[in-house]
Amino acid sequence: MRSRLDGLRRHFPSARVVGAWLALMALPLALCLAMAYGLSLYHYRSGTSQLADANARRIESILRRGEATLVTLERTTGGQCNDANIQAMARIVFQSVYFREAGIERDGALVCTSAGMLPEPMAIENSRRKPAARVGTMEILSPTHTLQGGRSLILNHPLRADRSRFVNLLLDPKVLVEASDYLEGVQSATFLDDAPNGRFLRLELKDSPALADLTLPLHPGIHRGRGGYFAVARAGAYPIYAVMSVSDDRIARHWRTQMQPAVVVGFLLSCMALLLLRRFMPRTSEADDLREGIAAGELEVWYQPLVDARDRRIVGAEALVRWQHPRRGLVLPDQFIALAEENNLIGPLTRRVIEQVKRDLDALGKLPPDFRISINLARADLADHNLVATLDEIFGMGRSLGRLGFEITERELLANMIGRAREVVEQLRAGGAEIALDDFGTGYSGLSHLRHLPLHYIKIDRSFIWALDTEAVTASLVDNIVSLARTLEMGLVAEGVETEQQRAHLLAIGVFLHQGWLYGRVLPFEALRKLLEQD
């Protein structure tokens, strides 16, 4: 017996060592699995909060524009219906982007709209309805059926204290709903608090388990629902709430995709601790964060296919930058492009995009002769004397830019920089690149840009394409843009094509180059390569 005890004592230190090693191996594994779940939860909680805040700010901006547009309508028309005022209303609605129609009401009847004079005044209930809210000089009425079909929010501007006369605007509630595909699995909803009428209206909502326990009133912030989380943000002084929700099942699925790498990282955690600490430590400022992200190669180039709608053949792609942030996840351009412009980082950012596009073009190998990848240029790029030199450095002196296109957003072109922009555009054209004016119709001086810049294409803004099926006025404006492009001998590209009806309408009027979810969403490079191999 004693010899057996001595044997056990001799083996006990080895058992302790084995136990210690097992504990050291299990602890990092457990920590990594817990961290993976925590990161999945943080990814969606912070993402829903940011999306809700961003959409609330967007809704507030749209309604403020509505208030300003109503004041402009009052000043322009004086509440009188005649041909000149109807044309003025149509022009104001066209320039406003968000609003589908304007109208003038007198004594409970609609007399005329931006689409024309009514054959006889139409009795409506707007003057007798209680507004959901009065903010400044504007009243907001809950959605109702309108003359052009569909349901619209009514934005009223009383012309008299007794509310017997108004100018108004129609706003499609869908305009207030932000697409939530920026973060996979997140669903969006928008609510109007019509308290004076004792109602809380859902403007747009998909089924979401996280909203099963939604209670009123809504409070801004992140909340726990029965089946997930939801973030709430209010649109400033307006009683409209943006809500983004995510289910527990979606979070769990995201976590399960992280489990395998978490196991690997668990065994390597001890030697990777310093690297991980440095990677996840907050940087000194947002600008430094972006600067280090550019230097670390965290900015990725994804692609939106450009399709010849006649045979659905892919004839090009638009390069769109995404920031794969180590803590925030996938960050979209509207969250960091302005930051780059304010801190002189547009040059390095554009250079990274051009370098990646060059590598991707080389990796694609032989392509159809008309295939091009287009790159968006910011205002700073047009003012930068180094842009052409950067292209020479990346593509080589005497290079051909025949595989490249460059897109200039109309809003970026200020009057005081048209001369410099023309110089840059002419140099790019001389190298073989094609130039397009993006988001045409949403800026302030599109015709001036067409006159002064040597462009190849006009890109019709998605807001006009989305409205083709519902708005006769917008459809006629698209026809006018097509006629203008033909007169100037420019090509046309339609953005935001989502339905077969839109495709058919555009083909009928001779617009053959399309972009949009009907043909494909924004894709990583490898997904684009597979599509081209199948094409």
pLDDT for 342 beyond 80? yes
What is the reported pLDDT for 438? 83
pLDDT per residue over 440-452, tens digit each? 766 555 566 666 7
- Contact by Cβ (8 Å): 115, 176: no
The DSSP letter of residue 441 is T
pLDDT for 318 beyond 70? yes
- Give the pLDDT mean for 25-42: 71
pLDDT per residue over 200-252, tens digit each? 877 765 555 556 566 667 788 888 877 788 889 999 899 988 888 888 888 77
pLDDT for 408 beyond 90? no
- Give the pLDDT mean for 321-339: 84
Enumerate helices (H) and strands (E) in the chain, giving the number of each: 14, 21
What is the reported pLDDT for 372? 92
pLDDT per residue over 256-269, tens digit each? 777 666 665 665 66
Instruction: Categorize the per-residue pLDDT at 7 as very low, low, confident or very high, splitting at 50, 70 and 90.
Output: very low
| Weakest-pLDDT range from 70-84, 177-191, 231-245 | 177-191
Instruction: Report the alpha-carbon distance of residue 283 to residue 275 in Å, rounded.
Output: 14
Q: What are the DSSP calls for 299-335, one per residue?
A: EEEEEEEEEETTTTEEEEEEEEEEEEETTTEEE-GGG
| Separation in Å, CA 216 to CA 142, 173, 195, 361 | 18, 21, 11, 53
Smallest Cα–Cα separation from 100: which of 69, 78, 129, 131?
A: 69
Q: If 0-12 CB within 10 Å is exposed, 13-18 middle and 19+ buried, where does residue 119 land?
A: exposed
Smallest Cα–Cα separation from 243: which of 196, 334, 199, 178?
A: 178
Within 10 angstroms of residue 387's Cβ, the number of other Cβ atoms is 21
Instruction: Report the alpha-carbon distance of residue 134 to residue 194 in Å, rounded.
Output: 11
CB neighbours of 119 closer than 8 A, spacing ≥ 6?
A: none
pLDDT for 514 beyond 90? yes
Q: What are phi and psi of 481, to 5 degrees?
A: -65, -40
What residue ranges define each of the domains in the chain, with the CATH number in brackets? Answer: 19-281 (no CATH), 286-534 (3.20.20.450)
Instruction: Report the alpha-carbon distance of residue 373 to residue 363 in Å, rounded.
Output: 13
Q: If 0-12 CB within 10 Å is exposed, 13-18 middle and 19+ buried, where does residue 163 land?
A: middle
Task: Report helix, strand and coil shares of the chain as percent, to nearest 5.
Answer: 45, 25, 25
pLDDT per residue over 369-407, tens digit each? 889 999 988 888 877 777 888 888 888 876 678 889 998
- Contact by Cβ (8 Å): 36, 42: no
**pTM: predicted TM-score of the whole model, two decimal places:** 0.47
* Bridge pairing between strands 133-135 and 138-145: antiparallel
- Contact by Cβ (8 Å): 118, 107: no
CB-facing half-sphere around the CA of 33: CA atoms within 13 A: 9
| Separation in Å, CA 157 to CA 169, 298, 464 | 9, 48, 26
Q: What are the DSSP calls for 129-197, one per residue?
A: SPPSEEETTEEEEEEEE-TTSSEEEEEEEESSTTS-EEEEEEE-GGGGS---TTSTT-EEEEEEEEGGG
What is the reported pLDDT for 493? 92
CB neighbours of 254 closer than 8 A, spacing ≥ 6?
A: 40, 43, 44, 185
- How many percent of the chain have pLDDT more than 90? 19
Angle formed at CA 319 by CA 314 and CA 322, multiple of 5 degrees: 130
Q: If 0-12 CB within 10 Å is exposed, 13-18 middle and 19+ buried, where does residue 100 land?
A: buried
- Contact by Cβ (8 Å): 189, 202: yes
Q: Tokens for 503?
A: 């495709």
